[in-house]
Amino acid sequence: APRPPVLNGSLWALAGDQVRVTCAASSHPAPIVTVARGRRVVAAAVYEPQVTLEVAAASPEDAGEYLCRAENQHGESSVAFN
């Protein structure tokens, strides 16, 4: 199963700021890594070790809980962030 994902990036932003959050996970075979907000996937990488969520200009509507999930045929792991 994939190891728990690791986040790298700013989780604090002011309105109008650019936001980049990278979520990385390792496993063999390579995982599918997704970032979702609620049920909506907002970034995905298939068989890649990481995915980057980019918001060009943050707005109050972008606030909230996101979930980074890594999965392969052996299992899944995830980490939540705001």
User: 47: domain range?
Assistant: 6-81
Closest listed residue to residue 4, CA positions, set 21, 20, 27: 27
Per DSSP (E only), the strands in the chain are 6-9, 19-24, 32-37, 40-46, 50-55, 66-72, 75-81
Query: Using one digit for the tens of pLDDT, what is the confidence trace for 24-66?
Result: 999 999 999 999 999 999 999 999 889 999 999 999 999 999 9
Q: Is residue 37 part of a domain?
A: yes
In degrees and rounded to multiples of 5, residue 73 shows phi and psi of -70, -10
| Global pTM value | 0.89
Q: Is residue 74 part of a domain?
A: yes
Each residue's pLDDT tens digit, 9-28:
766 889 999 999 999 999 99
The structural domain count of the chain equals 1
For residue 1, being part of any structural domain is answered with no
- Exposure of 20 in the CB half-sphere (CA atoms within 13 A): 3
- Tell me whether residue 22 is in a domain: yes
CATH number of residue 63's parent domain: 2.60.40.10
